[in-house]
């Protein structure tokens, strides 16, 4: 006589069936995020690193009014994209809450301080460099396969949306980190840009090889115009020339490489978001977007509140909604909402070859 299955086994079978049945309902909504502090939702909280945003006043306008590890006064870009898609934002991959059905929503692998290159952000010590983010993506797929099977996992990943934001730290926290940095001695700026673009291409193809089929790739903002650079390198309130030159070289080459990869694959896998133009809009004309300033950070100290970290001892503006920048490097929640609006519905001036709403509509009909 066969031994009846244990309660634990029965539970495991029922959970697997439940998740497999539910995948159809949420399959189009899985969302994976890779990159740096612009999209990190709290992974660095679990790491021994100085690149963290887990103390006040970070999160002052987040629904919980508490710091979450997001480099924002409130919501960040993945949060707002999730809202627009009608889904819950994916949890940080290192969060202990990321289990069971929460895994099917997706995961956020991003880690503040990282870049395209492994030697970017070395001063932050323990951060999840992009190669490890991709390893965790493989590990994630193994975990989900154990729940719903390999075929359904492949389907979930293939039909998911992926967001990747890299590049800014390769300049700010590498090439221009210190005068005569190792990379600036090794490469002229144009050659350095070519080098990191070629390395980025490898990262993007690895994502494709791991099953990503809709990948939204953001360029850098106008790096010389953030409060930190105005304070340290700008002259008379003007954007820092060298970092602006870096943005002007990097972003068009990134756009070209995305088109080249799509041609090679034969499909529009990679979607380019012109973050530089989105930022330029409210930097050049802040009043048109309801901002009183696009130069001074809401939280910080020194010229333009651009020196050092945002801490409980920093200057803090009373109305975050009228500042384009929250801290020395990161947009405010309101600026993030303007950026996501263009990602969702922007013209080809902002989104190449098409905006996210068009892609979601096309995919829902497929």
Q: Report the catalytic residues.
A: 37, 327, 330
- How far is the CA of 138 from the CAs of 81, 93, 99, 109, 146, in angstroms? 24, 12, 16, 11, 13
Cis status of the peptide bond prior to 16, with omega within 30 of 0: no
Which tokens in the block code for residue 106? 């997706």
CB 90 within 8 A of CB 83: no
- Is the torsion defined by CA of 184, 190, 193, 197 positive or negative? negative
- How far is the CA of 15 from the CAs of 22, 91, 340, in angstroms? 10, 20, 35
CB 277 within 8 A of CB 347: no
Bridge partners of 293? 323
Other Cβ atoms within 10 Å of 364 Cβ, number: 8
Residue 315's Cβ-side half-sphere holds a number of Cα atoms within 13 Å equal to 16
């Amino acid at each position: 006589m066969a031994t009846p299955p244990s309660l634990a086994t029965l539970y495991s079978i029922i959970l697997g069936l439940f998740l497999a049945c539910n995948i159809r309902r949420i399959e189009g909504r899985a969302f994976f995020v890779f990159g740096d502090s612009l999209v990190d939702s709290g992974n660095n909280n679990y790491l021994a690193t100085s690149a963290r945003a887990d103390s006040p006043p970070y999160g002052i306008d987040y629904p919980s009014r508490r710091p979450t590890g997001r480099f924002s006064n409130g919501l960040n870009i993945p949060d707002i994209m999730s809202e627009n898609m009608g889904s819950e934002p994916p949890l940080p991959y290192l969060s202990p809450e990321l289990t069971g059905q929460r895994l099917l929503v997706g995961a956020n692998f991003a880690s503040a301080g990282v870049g395209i290159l492994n030697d970017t952000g070395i001063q932050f010590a323990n951060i999840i460099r992009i190669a490890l983010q991709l390893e965790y993506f493989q590990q994630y797929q193994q975990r989900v396969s154990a729940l719903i099977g390999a075929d359904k996992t492949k389907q979930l990943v293939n039909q998911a949306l992926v967001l990747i934001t890299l590049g800014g730290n390769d300049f700010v926290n590498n090439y221009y980190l210190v005068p005569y940095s190792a990379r600036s001695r090794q490469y002229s700026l144009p050659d350095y840009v070519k080098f990191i673009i070629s390395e980025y291409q490898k990262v993007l193809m690895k994502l494709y090889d791991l099953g990503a089929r809709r990948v939204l790739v953001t360029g850098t903002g106008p790096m010389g115009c953030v409060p930190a650079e105005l304070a340290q390198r700008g002259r008379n309130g003007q954007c820092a020339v060298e970092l602006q030159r870096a943005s002007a070289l990097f972003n068009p080459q990134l756009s070209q490489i995305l088109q080249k990869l799509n041609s090679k694959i034969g499909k529009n896998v990679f979607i380019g978001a012109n973050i530089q133009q989105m930022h330029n809009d409210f930097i050049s004309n802040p009043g048109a977007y309801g901002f009183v300033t696009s130069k001074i950070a809401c939280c910080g100290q020194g010229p333009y509140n651009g020196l050092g970290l945002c801490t409980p001892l920093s200057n803090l503006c009373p109305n975050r909604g009228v500042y384009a920048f929250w801290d020395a490097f990161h947009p405010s929640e309101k600026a993030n909402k303007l950026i996501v609006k263009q990602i969702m519905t922007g013209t080809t001036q902002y989104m190449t070859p098409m905006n996210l709403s068009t892609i979601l509509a096309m995919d829902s009909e497929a």
